[in-house]
Structure formats: structure tokens, C-alpha cells
Amino acid sequence: MVNNEARTLRCPRDGGQLHTEKHDAIEVDACPTCRGAWYDFGELSQLEATVTHDEASLAGMLEYSKRDSELKCPMCAKTMVAFDYRAHAVELDACPDEHGFWLDAGESERVRQIMQERVGDMRRSAEAQARWDRDRESGFKGGGIIDRIRELFTGRR
């Protein structure tokens, strides 16, 4: 939570009172009825970090296909912005004044799954690049289609 002083927040889905709970070791304001949760601004990054443990893997655009949300921010009551989380079919809602994010039931787990996939993809990419660099340094020409096209245009064989 942003501060430790008492605050009463209402669920943007059903208007019920949000209660402080721990989700993935992060203190969030959760709705006992719809099971959604309010993540203060920095807490979405903390949720991602429960999987990545590495700030570099967080690089990249977070919000795709922004549009007006049907929800109001529980802190300032402004209309939130809905967006596709990291270009996946997971719609999150964000306060335009950066108070935080609303995650519906199950979306925090989906965020974690997406980050696990992202970390796996980045590791595979780094391993492939390292193999490529080792092969190039050892004089391996590869003989792949790209090398053949390059030879065609450079006149080397």
C-alpha cells in the first residue's frame, strides 16, 4: 500500500469495501465478493518481480490498446484506462493519475504466467545468441539461408 494510514476503498466492480490482504507477499486491497484486487502503483512491478527476480526482464511496453475503462479508480474516482497487459489477452485497468491498477479475479496469476513465459523466452534468446557468437568466433560459417544470401550479394563463396 502507498501509505499505512487507514483508508476505506470501494471495489470498482461491485462497490463493496476492499480489505487488506497479502497476495504473493504483496499487501493489496482485495474485494471479498468479486475477488478482484487493487494494486497500488508500484505493486504491479512487485508482482512481476515475484517471477522474474530481474529488473532487465521487465523492460518493454506494459500497456497496449489503451481505451476508456468502465471502472472508476477507488482512490480518486476518475475513469480508469483499460489496456491489454503486455500485448496479451489480459485486460487490466489503470488509474490515469498512476494511483494503481485493478486486477480482476485470476488476473494476478495470469500476470505471473505471462512473466514466466517472458523470462523463458529471454533465456532461450540469450542462449541462442551465445551459441551463435561461439560458432562465429570458431569460424563456423553456418551454411544457412542467410549466409547464402549474404554470399550472393557480397560475391564471397
As to burial, measured by CB atoms within 10 angstroms (0-12 exposed, 13-18 middle, 19+ buried), residue 91 is middle
> Does a structural domain hold residue 5?
no
Q: Could you tell me the pLDDT band of residue 134, with boundaries at 50, 70 and 90? A: confident
> Does a structural domain hold residue 76?
yes
Number of domains in the chain: 1
Q: What is the pLDDT of residue 4?
A: 45
Q: Which amino acid is at 67?
A: R
pLDDT in tens, 43-97: 998 998 888 766 555 555 577 789 999 999 999 999 999 999 988 889 999 999 9
75, 95 Cβ separation under 8 angstroms: yes
End-to-end alpha carbon distance in the chain:
63
pLDDT in tens, 5-35: 567 999 999 999 999 999 989 999 999 999 9
CA dihedral 141, 146, 150, 152 (to 10 degrees): 100
> Does a structural domain hold residue 6?
no
pTM above 0.85, yes or no: no
Strands 26-30 and 37-40, by their bridges, are antiparallel
> Does a structural domain hold residue 122?
yes
> Does a structural domain hold residue 1?
no
> Does a structural domain hold residue 8?
no
Q: What is the pLDDT of residue 50?
A: 85
What is the span of the domain harbouring residue 131?
19-154
> Does a structural domain hold residue 10?
no
> Does a structural domain hold residue 145?
yes
Strands 100-103 and 63-72, by their bridges, are unpaired
CA angle 53, 85, 69 (to 5 degrees): 135
